[in-house]
């Protein structure tokens, strides 16, 4: 008889990146606090995790990222004022969109040594249990959310699960890329290999790692001794390749649309897509967008 996989209780958000691609906007404001419509990018990822039943939220931050910590705290003056003025909807919206007391931890990466190093910085808080990992720059619009879909896949298969999606072949060198083996169902396949930022001609497929993972705690032992890889950084993908020799990895082709908010065009697209999805904004926004797209030059 097989035992059910252990529950995923904790999630790691690496949020220490400098955001140099968005200067001057990110000189003072962390890039994760840039808004898509009226919500910071990081909040979409946190709400996706809350929806998936995650109980503890670990932010791997760095210097100058204090606004993220404040954002997920209670804003006592603001909230009591909203309550006193009877602005119940705004009050409830703030109350419902932060982790409960004691459910968020913050640890500093100290040095920008790469994603693998950022994840390793969370090891003491995660301990010896499987955990979720979410890269908030990759904003995924889907119902149910991508993390809920990932956990359902993990509950069925156990092991490690990596969200993947197809991109045009000429973009594969920007990402981690997977090679797939056995098909479990139309969305879920065994991973047989991975490579971080391959040359276009060397990529095993056009299926990229999309920034959502379920990982077993044994990843930390591999990260501990991981040598720098692509870009001179300690790469999570390289440690996943080592762990692939010992444990199963499933690739999950999630149902949803990704906006890479680490990229200006991706970020702008996210704002348009999320605004068009809002019943309170779309009727006023759509005609303006139509006019602008008709009159604009390429
Ligand atoms: C990271 C991962 C990469 C993944 C990408 C998704 O790269 O290392 O495997 O495909 O996120 O955004 P980064 O964007 O940090 O260079």
CA distances from 167 to 172, 174, 228 (A): 7, 10, 26
Are 49 and 57 spatial neighbours (Cβ–Cβ below 8 Å)? yes
Of all protein residues, the one whose alpha carbon is nearest to atom 14 of ligand 1 is: 175
Domain-located, residue 287: no
Write the DSSP symbol of residue 34. S
Are 190 and 159 spatial neighbours (Cβ–Cβ below 8 Å)? no
Question: Sorting pLDDT into bands at 50, 70 and 90, what band is 298?
Answer: low
Residue 271 has pLDDT above 50, yes or no: yes
Report cis status (omega within 30 of 0) of the bond before 119.
no
Question: Sorting pLDDT into bands at 50, 70 and 90, what band is 2?
Answer: low
Alpha-carbon torsion 14, 73, 7, 51, what sign? negative
Instruction: Count, in order, helices (H) and strands (E) of the chain.
Output: 11, 13
Domain-located, residue 233: yes
CA distances from 187 to 170, 235, 257 (A): 23, 26, 15
Question: Sorting pLDDT into bands at 50, 70 and 90, what band is 96?
Answer: confident
* Structure confidence by residue, pLDDT tens digits, 15-52: 998 888 999 999 999 999 999 999 999 999 999 999 99
- Ligand 1 pocket mutation pick from 135, 137, 240 by most atoms within 8 angstroms of CB: 135
Neighbours of 6 (CB within 10 A): 14
Tell me the CB-side half-sphere exposure of residue 17, using CA atoms within 13 A: 22
The predicted structure's pLDDT at residue 295: 75
Is residue 206 within a helix (H) or strand (E), and if so which, with residue range? none
CA 210 to centroid of ligand 1, rounded, Å? 7
Q: Which residues contact 241 (CB under 8 A, 6 or more apart)?
A: 193, 194, 195
Taking every pair of Cα atoms in the chain, the longest distance, rounded to a whole number of angstroms, is 64
Neighbours of 88 (CB within 10 A): 10
- Mean per-residue pLDDT over the chain, rounded: 94
Residue 213 has pLDDT above 70, yes or no: yes
Residue 239 has pLDDT above 80, yes or no: yes
The predicted structure's pLDDT at residue 296: 61
**Is 165 a pocket residue for ligand 1 (Cβ < 6 Å)?**
no
Say which residue, 233 or 92, is predicted with more confidence: 233
Domain-located, residue 187: yes
**Mean pLDDT, rounded, for 117-130:** 98
| Least reliable range by pLDDT among 95-104, 140-149, 209-218 | 95-104
CA 209 to centroid of ligand 1, rounded, Å? 7
Number of domains in the chain: 1
Say how far residue 41 (Cα) sits from the centre of its chain. Answer: 10
**Is 135 a pocket residue for ligand 1 (Cβ < 6 Å)?**
yes
**Is 32 a pocket residue for ligand 1 (Cβ < 6 Å)?**
no
- CATH number, residue 112: 3.90.550.10
Residue ranges making up the domain that contains 21: 10-262
**Is 178 a pocket residue for ligand 1 (Cβ < 6 Å)?**
no
The predicted structure's pLDDT at residue 178: 97
**Is 175 a pocket residue for ligand 1 (Cβ < 6 Å)?**
yes
What's phi and psi for 129, nearest 5 deg?
-135, 155
> Helices in the chain by DSSP H: which ranges?
41-51, 66-71, 76-84, 88-96, 115-120, 123-126, 146-157, 219-224, 236-244, 264-276, 282-295
Of all protein residues, the one whose alpha carbon is nearest to atom 9 of ligand 1 is: 176
Domain-located, residue 273: no
**Mean pLDDT, rounded, for 156-174:** 96
CA distance 156 to 166: 23
Nearest one of 193, 196, 186, 187 to 150, comparing CA atoms: 187
Residue 138 has pLDDT above 60, yes or no: yes
Domain-located, residue 228: yes
Question: Sorting pLDDT into bands at 50, 70 and 90, what band is 249?
Answer: very high
Of all protein residues, the one whose alpha carbon is nearest to atom 15 of ligand 1 is: 115
What's phi and psi for 140, nearest 5 deg?
-115, 120
Nearest one of 113, 123, 118, 153 to 134, comparing CA atoms: 118
Is the pTM above the cut of 0.85? yes
Residue 1 has pLDDT above 50, yes or no: no
Domain-located, residue 281: no
Question: Sorting pLDDT into bands at 50, 70 and 90, what band is 297?
Answer: low
CA 78 to centroid of ligand 1, rounded, Å? 36
Residue 242 has pLDDT above 90, yes or no: yes
Domain-located, residue 72: yes
């Amino acid at each position: 008889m097989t035992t059910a996989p252990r529950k995923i209780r904790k999630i790691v958000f690496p949020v220490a990146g400098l955001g140099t691609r968005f200067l001057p906007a990110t000189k003072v404001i962390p890039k994760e606090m840039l808004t898509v419509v009226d919500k910071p990018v990081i909040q979409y990822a946190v709400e996706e995790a809350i929806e998936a039943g995650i109980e503890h939220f670990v932010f791997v931050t760095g210097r100058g990222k204090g606004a993220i910590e404040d954002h997920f705290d209670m804003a006592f003056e603001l909230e009591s004022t909203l309550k006193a003025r009877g602005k119940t909807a705004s009050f409830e919206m703030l109350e419902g969109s932060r982790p409960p007391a004691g459910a968020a931890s913050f640890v500093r990466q100290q040095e920008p040594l790469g994603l693998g190093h950022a994840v390793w910085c969370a090891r003491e808080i995660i301990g010896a249990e499987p955990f979720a990992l979410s890269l908030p720059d990759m904003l995924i619009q889907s119902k149910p959310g991508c993390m809920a879909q990932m956990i359902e896949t993990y509950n069925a298969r156990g092991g490690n699960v990596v969200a993947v999606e197809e991109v045009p072949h000429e973009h594969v060198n920007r990402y981690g890329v997977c090679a797939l083996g056995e098909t479990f169902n139309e969305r879920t396949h065994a991973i047989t290999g991975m490579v971080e930022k391959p040359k276009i001609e060397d990529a095993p497929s056009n299926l990229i790692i999309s920034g959502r993972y379920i990982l077993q705690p044994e990843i930390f032992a591999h990260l501990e001794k991981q040598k720098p890889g692509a870009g001179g950084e300690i790469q999570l993908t390289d440690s996943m390749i080592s762990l692939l020799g010992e444990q199963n990895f499933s690739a999950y082709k999630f149902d949803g649309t990704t906006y890479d908010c680490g990229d200006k065009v991706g970020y702008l697209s996210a704002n348009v897509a999320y605004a068009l999805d809002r019943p309170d904004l779309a009727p006023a926004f759509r005609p303006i967008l139509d006019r602008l797209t008709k009159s604009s030059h390429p």
